[in-house]
Structure 1
Amino acid sequence: MPTTPPGFLILDDALAGAREGDALLLAGEEGRHAAKVARIGAGERVLLTDAPGRQVLAEVTAARKEQLDLRLLADPSPAVQRLPRLTLVQALATGGRDEQAVESATELGADRLVPWIAQRSVSVWRGEKLAKGRAKWEGTVRAAVKQCRRPGIPEVAEAVTTTRLVEDLRERAADSALVLVLHEQESVSLMTLAEELRGASEAGVEEIVVVVGPEGGIDETELDALRGTGARSVLLGPEVLRSSTAGPAALAVISALVGRWG
């Protein structure tokens, strides 16, 4: 008979140094959700994960109003270190399409997500929206982590303008990163880099960055600036995909080529 999988909960960084038999407390928003919404009770087993990707099975020893008392049933697994790391630079988009991209990218293995305020972005974060927008992306990431039960929680970076993005990409390219800009008018396709991507780890590439523009496309001056960092513009495929789809689709292809799905 199939068994029901245990609940999946995020414990942030609390698994560092933890051992079998240790007692831990799950409080805060995650504890409230587990106790009041998911109604996880004493005696149930849950699978815990933290930001670096450690995971461990635990038993609920007590369920309080807004927190759970837990006992670890094993030593946590080691933190996940997958190379090359995958970063998605996602231009802000309307209609929640950027959040859709963030959700799918998290499920498909992105390690870092960067909100980009591009010149043609209709949705723009300013003032209080900078913190609120980032917090909303972080909430989307955590929900997606729990949905797919992946190890590790992707980092959501601060929103960047094109100027700051160019500076950051130049530094990363100098530090062995491969930067790919998706562009619908490029003649060179992503799949022409298949062999290079398959050998990325052996070649010392520690990070692959995928840059996705807004609904109106990447402005030509921005594209020139991105190429000036050493980034390469590539065509994803024959169809023009929405901004919510392009990044996750590229990450799926890259994940297969670099061996994450092998």
Structure 2
Amino acid sequence: MQRYFVPPALMGQQSVMLEGDDARHAAAVMRSKPGDCFIACDGCGRDVLAKITSIDKETVKADIIETLSRRAEMAWKVTVAQSLPKGDKLETVIQKGAEAGAAAFRPFLSHRTVVQYDERKEAKRIDRWRKIAKEAAEQSHRSIIPSIEAVATWKAMLALFAEYELVLFCYEEEGRSGGGLKDILSGFKASLPDSAEPRILIVVGPEGGFTQQEADQAASSGAKLVGLGTRILRTETAALYALACLAYESGELGGI
């Protein structure tokens, strides 16, 4: 069933409204009509089943017929910090990362970032990244839209490490030396109280990886340097690989 994220102001106790692109999507793409149902989410964890009462290309009005209780979010609140890669690779990371359960994305600049970042275009880029996150969250039946933060400097990123219970700094040299993710996650999980919802940061470098100096700075700022196996992963693969590992350790995959 089609799912839409709706601003809380448009979702009341008994009715909900779609406007703009969502209304046009419902009318022109889904060809919805009165009596059809959709799921509306306020982005804060409230999901409802709604039945359309009126529809045109600008506005869809619907009555709420049921509040849904399905949990679609990871217990661990995982943020992906991705050094800006070339081309549209960050869009792939955001789209697939949102599907995999990431709660937020923090792009940043590091020493080997190749992209010539233009701050004048930042607002437009962030709008596009947020649209991608929203569409991916709808497609994967998330209850929240992952947040997209402004592009940070490496110094600013280091300062953010203190906000998280665990910072995983993905560094290929650790993979070669046997410093893997499994032991770190097992120990971290064992230290958590029941029903904990820890904040975790995954830090991924650009195409050329991190420098030794950056790795040392990350470790000094509290990060755990981890390898993601013995193979070298592309930058757009690393975060998704780590997210899958975290989903498993958090119990997201049940008895698998």
Q: Are residues 215 and 103 of structure 1, via their aligned partners in 2, closer, same or farther at CA, if it must alter by over 3 Å?
A: same
Alignment of 1:131 with 2:123, yes or no, is: yes
Checking the alignment, whether the CA contact within 8 Å between 1:45 and 1:58 is kept in structure 2 is: yes
Q: Are residues 33 and 81 of structure 1, via their aligned partners in 2, closer, same or farther at CA, if it must alter by over 3 Å?
A: closer
Checking the alignment, whether the CA contact within 8 Å between 2:10 and 2:18 is kept in structure 1 is: no
Q: How far apart, in 2, do the equivalents of 1:201 and 1:261 lie?
A: 18
Counterpart in the other structure of 1:114: 106
Checking the alignment, whether the CA contact within 8 Å between 2:23 and 2:56 is kept in structure 1 is: no
Counterpart in the other structure of 1:190: 181
- Structure 2 unaligned spans of 5+: none
**What's the offset of the Cα at 1:78?**
8.8
**What's the offset of the Cα at 1:15?**
7.3
Q: How far apart, in 2, do the equivalents of 1:124 and 1:84 lie?
A: 34
Checking the alignment, whether the CA contact within 8 Å between 1:84 and 1:201 is kept in structure 2 is: no
Picking from 74, 91, 95, the partner of 1:103 is 95
Structure ranking higher in helix proportion: 2
Secondary structure of residue in 1 paired with 2:244? helix
CA RMSD for the aligned pairs? 2.2
Checking the alignment, whether the CA contact within 8 Å between 1:15 and 1:54 is kept in structure 2 is: no
Q: How far apart, in 2, do the equivalents of 1:59 and 1:87 lie?
A: 34
Counterpart in the other structure of 2:39: 47
**What's the offset of the Cα at 1:34?**
2.0
**What's the offset of the Cα at 1:190?**
0.6
**What's the offset of the Cα at 1:28?**
2.3
Secondary structure of residue in 1 paired with 2:200? strand
Secondary structure of residue in 2 paired with 1:210? strand
Counterpart in the other structure of 2:216: 224
Secondary structure of residue in 1 paired with 2:173? coil
Q: How far apart, in 2, do the equivalents of 1:142 and 1:242 lie?
A: 25
Checking the alignment, whether the CA contact within 8 Å between 2:94 and 2:132 is kept in structure 1 is: yes
Counterpart in the other structure of 2:237: 245
Q: Are residues 25 and 114 of structure 1, via their aligned partners in 2, closer, same or farther at CA, if it must alter by over 3 Å?
A: same
Q: Which amino acid aligns with 1:179?
A: V
Q: What's the % identity of the aligned pairs? A: 29
Q: Report Cα offsets for 1:106-141 as digits up to 9, x if no partner.
A: 111111111112221122433222212211211110
How many residue pairs align between the two structures?
Answer: 250
